[in-house]
Amino acid sequence: MNIFGIGIDVVEVERIASSMDEFGDRFANRIFTSSERDYCERQKRPEIHYAARFAAKEAVAKAFGTGIGEDLSWLDMEVRRRESGEPEIHLTGAGAKFAKKNKIGQIKVSLTHAQHYAAANAIVLAD
């Protein structure tokens, strides 16, 4: 496999918390899948986990080289956790079509968060 692209993003947790407060479900439903929302809401500080997932989606969009738009929407990406706790990206819709067209085989993602910031990086591998 070859590296198709890499991406990184850093998000201020307060920015995501403010958007959640101001726009509520409208914001959350536009950016996060129901599974992601369920996961985040079960956590002690949901805003940190939302911010990390937001950063992961931005990092993947950068690694794809598409940004968020026609080839990859917010809801085409879902951050999941494997049994080991390792995060993984599941693609659907236009994102899955783009990945297939470009022979993308793996997306490696790493998330981190602290009190004020969340960050993620992504490496996209293709055949």
Q: How far apart are the first and last CA of the chain?
A: 5
Contact 125, 3 (CB under 8 A): yes
Task: Verify whether residue 90 is a known catalytic residue.
Answer: no
Q: pTM of the predicted model, to two decimals?
A: 0.95
Whether 57 shows a pLDDT value over 90: the answer reads: yes
Catalytic residue among 49, 62, 101, 103: 62
Task: Verify whether residue 62 is a known catalytic residue.
Answer: yes
Neighbours of 50 (CB within 10 A): 28
pLDDT tens, residue by residue, 80-95: 999 999 999 999 999 9
Contact 118, 11 (CB under 8 A): yes
The band of 1, judged by pLDDT with boundaries at 50, 70 and 90, is confident
Average per-residue pLDDT for the chain: 96
